[in-house]
Structure 1
Amino acid sequence: MTSATHLATITLVGLSSLCAATVASAQKTYTITPMAEGLEGPWGVAPLPRGGLLVTEKAGRLIHQKDGKRNEVSGMPKVAVVGQGGLLDITLARDFEQSRMLFLTYVKAQDGGGAGTALASARLSDDASRLEDLMELFAMKPGSNGGQHFGSRVVEAPDGTLLVTIGERGNRPAAQDRSTHNGSIIRVNRDGSVPDDNPFVDTPDVLPEIWSYGHRNPQGAGLDLEGRLWVSEHGAKGGDEVNRIAKGANYGWPVISYGEHYSGEKIGEGSEKEGMEQPEFYWDPSIAPAGLMVYSGAQFPDWEGDIFVGALKFDYIARLSGDPLEEVEQIKTSETARVRDVVEGPDGGIWFISEINGTVYRITP
């Protein structure tokens, strides 16, 4: 675990809103190309294996774009747009080319008031015009009236189970209360059932979907090349973290943190406590980390295994590498304005969302 050290920055060579930009970094020259523009509140992107993309907009729209043509996908779940929440992440099933299955996270209004993070699966029609066989797989308990810290990324693990990140919804103590889903990563099967090997299935008064807990607001998640889950999560004032997730582990919030409350008051008991995990890396000051991706090296072999994290606050993509993990480069251009999501495309290109620009971009050599 280490705090941030900025070893390399990049410089923009040229840019047009309709054309690719060539960028020179300490490592290489590469190209940033806009793939979809004019989006409103884009949150999650899924490049499609046969070309084109799907992108969520927070207001509840799922957009399909291919070959310069765009359509809104019908058949969506009912989405509650509350503060930071709305329609959030999208992930294609690993067998998407055969099954056409995808997974969505979103905010769902709950009976009795309040709202919470939910997960659904659906099949994309062959013409990409609608969702079919929509099924809710999970909804967090309980909901709340707060508008912050919904998470929320969904990742398909190598065994086919689904991992979903959930923030503590602004209720700090709830992240240590395993009778709620607040501040946890949950794991369910593709049909929504609870896997028999979840860590707390036989523990009284603990919700069985919980895989790890003690999280503040994990908004980035991805698998490394060994199939292990990594997440990026927001600290308070300082203390943004990158964590490698272990089954049943407690990541400490709000008992330990490398940040402080916005008031300047100390958080919890300090930065360490027995039985609570240390981050692999933390930022101070905070960068407001969003999407996270671990890169395969397909188009950039020198970056194999590196972690890419979008920064909402300082408008760049962080590249982290090494053991111990360090921030070794900042990809910072006019395109990287408030980076909401970072994913690897089917061809090994690095795709990202600029929330401010309302654009999905792709980085290629």
Structure 2
Amino acid sequence: MKYLKVVLILLVVSGTAFAFGMYSTIKKNAVFDGIVTLGRSVKATVSGSSSGTQDIVLLDFADRSLLDTNRLPFNQKEVRVKIENGRQQQMVAVVKASDTTAIVVSEKGLLFTLTPGACETPDCMKPAGRLVRADGTALDDIYDMLVVPGATGNDYYVSFGQENRAQNTKAFYLSRIQIADTPDPQSTLGVEDVVFESTSFSLENGHADVSGGGALAYDANANRIIMTIGDFGLNGYANRFIGDVPPAQDPENDLGKIHAIDLATGTSEVISIGHRNPQGLTITRKGEIVSTEHGPKGGDEVNIVVAGKNYGWPQTSFGTMYEQYTFPDKPLDASVPHGGYQPPLTAFVPSIGISALLEVQGLHKAWDGDLLIGSLKAQSLYRIRRWDAGHYMEPIHFGDRIRDLEIVDGILLIASDAGKVYMLKPLDDVDMLRTGIGLVNNKNALSECGQCHNLSGARSTEFAPHLVNVFSRPIASLTDFNNYSDGLKGRAEELWTEDNLRAFLADPQSFAPDSGMPTPRLSASDTEEIIALLPLLR
């Protein structure tokens, strides 16, 4: 019995120590703090609202680096949101609230205001309340948010999924919410003002909650909301559906369609059918409705949405079935492209995990008028320049799963799955790119490393491991690079500290015999510049 008491005491002590260590790690990490000091990072702790409890919201601000593209360099800042007693908050949507402010919503319904043009500390992002369901629980299963400007202020709309557990069904909802000009961070905002409720579907055979679509756009010319609804995986491939016709092709079912809601009358109509999971939506200056849509294994689409058209899902796709190399096409006319269904503007094979979409306006003349697309799997932006005869596309690796895009005050805002809101401000001062904090892909000492190493993304090349997060990383530790020398493998228990990096750059062969790294022949100032810039590659 006395041994049992000793064991219990040890368990309590070790559990307390572990909890304190985890808390300390969340509050302050010495290695991370050392890195972000070089990158001019600031942290703040603020209170946010929750249903019945109070969350402690941790905001981490950083002005870290620049992002390079073919035609336009950007200064990159970021704010990360994390809840002290839980995991990081995936950012679901970011919308323009005014000429200088944005509203950001997280996966658990936390609302924030953001002033990107004045963002030098975490104070530029402030809690603004929380969305809750009718029973007071936090609103999750959120798809998108939309702002509609009015004569007396903004109306906000949110799309989300709602289960009826008593009937074992689920439906798609669009609700109107009111956000004050100066929101109370402790407020809870209900979603009872329902504008649209879809036909419900049974959960008996399961569903894909990530395939709900839910993208929103405001058509100011017709005073209507354009809204996408996915098929929730009820297509006969991912999950079985009830009946003989898949929901996306069934005119009596709201799923797998793009809808328009007349705000004056409250009535809705179907614009197009045959959609799988359209997660991006924009209306161009010319009045075109453009959507992005997830394919299966390959076949992500960018569609020009034309009223009355059928886009084919699940009867055809440019992708294939998972774990197969074919797709069971059911064409209307096998002799024409896309089986006689409306073809996309372009498609991605393999899939990029296509997500948000906007037409660039008010950012910079180099990009204005282009389509900008985000991606989840590829963690990249894609800029499409269109003309009558075709288009070209610029992929821009970003290094985070991109969930939403917006432009406020001449700054591109990117909401990510990593709980971050990135702020990209175009730079016209090219001379700034040659300074010590300049872009690593431009004219500084670190740019020479880019001839072999990947500096902008966490993917190793055939010749060298990538350098993202190399600072304080274990030596020879990347799993996507298989050509480490025995000399580097022999130091695998060590970290890439300043001293180790400096020694390696000075003489790679002395540091790790047989290393494939050539002697870079750097000046002392070049070495110190590289050491200062490496922590920013994260």
Indicate the TM-score class for this superposition, using the shorter chain for normalisation.
0.7 to 0.9
Deviations along 1:263-289, one digit per CA (max 9) or x if unpaired, are 313232365223x21100100000011
Distance 2:218 2:192 in 1: 18
1:56 is matched with: 105
Distance 1:230 1:50 in 2: 24
Q: Which of 344, 351, 371 is matched with 1:279 structurally? A: 344
- Larger RCO (alpha carbons 8 Å, 6+ apart): 1
2:301 is the alignment partner of 1:241 = yes
Aligned to 2:149, what secondary structure does the other structure show? coil
Distance 1:317 1:15 in 2: 23
Using the TM superposition, give the Cα deviation of residue 134 of structure 1 relative to its aligned residue in structure 2, in angstroms.
5.3
Distance change >3 Å, CA 327–CA 108, structure 1 → 2: farther
Instruction: Give 1 or 2: higher strand fraction.
Output: 1
Distance 2:343 2:125 in 1: 46
Task: Tell me how large the CA RMSD over aligned residues is.
Answer: 2.6
Question: 1:301-340, aligned counterparts within 5 Å?
Answer: 301-323=365-387, 325-334=390-399, 337-340=400-403
Using the TM superposition, give the Cα deviation of residue 254 of structure 1 relative to its aligned residue in structure 2, in angstroms.
1.2
1:186 is matched with: 259
2:354 is matched with: 289
2:223 is matched with: 160
Distance change >3 Å, CA 61–CA 326, structure 1 → 2: same
Using the TM superposition, give the Cα deviation of residue 210 of structure 1 relative to its aligned residue in structure 2, in angstroms.
1.6
Q: Which of 114, 117, 120 is matched with 2:175 structurally? A: 120
Q: Which of 124, 131, 154 is matched with 1:68 structurally? A: 124
1:206 is matched with: none
Instruction: Give 1 or 2: higher helix fraction.
Output: 2
Distance 1:144 1:325 in 2: 43
User: Which amino acid in 2 is paired with 1:318?
Assistant: Y
Aligned to 2:338, what secondary structure does the other structure show? coil
Distance change >3 Å, CA 311–CA 107, structure 1 → 2: same
1:5 is matched with: none
Aligned to 1:93, what secondary structure does the other structure show? strand
Using the TM superposition, give the Cα deviation of residue 77 of structure 1 relative to its aligned residue in structure 2, in angstroms.
3.8
Larger radius of gyration: 2
Q: Which of 149, 174, 180 is matched with 2:247 structurally? A: 174
Q: Which of 327, 331, 348 is matched with 1:266 structurally? A: 327
2:162 is matched with: 108
User: Which amino acid in 2 is paired with 1:116?
Assistant: A
Q: Which of 305, 310, 326 is matched with 1:250 structurally? A: 310
Deviations along 1:35-93, one digit per CA (max 9) or x if unpaired, are 554350211111331544322222233333454352242464449999xx712211111
Distance change >3 Å, CA 144–CA 81, structure 1 → 2: farther
- 5+ residue gaps, structure 2, are 1-37, 42-61, 83-87, 116-122, 236-245, 332-336, 427-538
Using the TM superposition, give the Cα deviation of residue 364 of structure 1 relative to its aligned residue in structure 2, in angstroms.
1.5
Distance change >3 Å, CA 316–CA 192, structure 1 → 2: farther
Q: Does the 8 A contact of 1:80 with 1:115 survive in 2?
A: no
User: Which amino acid in 2 is paired with 1:141?
Assistant: T
Q: Which moved more, 1:256-265 or 1:64-73?
A: 64-73
Distance change >3 Å, CA 243–CA 75, structure 1 → 2: closer
User: Which amino acid in 1 is paired with 2:90?
Assistant: G
1:139 is matched with: 197
2:422 is matched with: 361
TM-score (norm 2): 0.57
Using the TM superposition, give the Cα deviation of residue 192 of structure 1 relative to its aligned residue in structure 2, in angstroms.
6.9
Q: Does the 8 A contact of 1:58 with 1:86 survive in 2?
A: yes
User: Which amino acid in 1 is paired with 2:342?
Assistant: E
User: Which amino acid in 1 is paired with 2:176?
Assistant: S
User: Which amino acid in 2 is paired with 1:343?
Assistant: E
Distance change >3 Å, CA 303–CA 69, structure 1 → 2: closer
Q: Which moved more, 1:280-289 or 1:152-161?
A: 152-161
2:278 is matched with: 218
Q: Which moved more, 1:71-80 or 1:29-38?
A: 71-80
Distance 2:39 2:284 in 1: 32
Q: Which moved more, 1:64-73 or 1:37-46?
A: 64-73
Aligned to 2:323, what secondary structure does the other structure show? coil
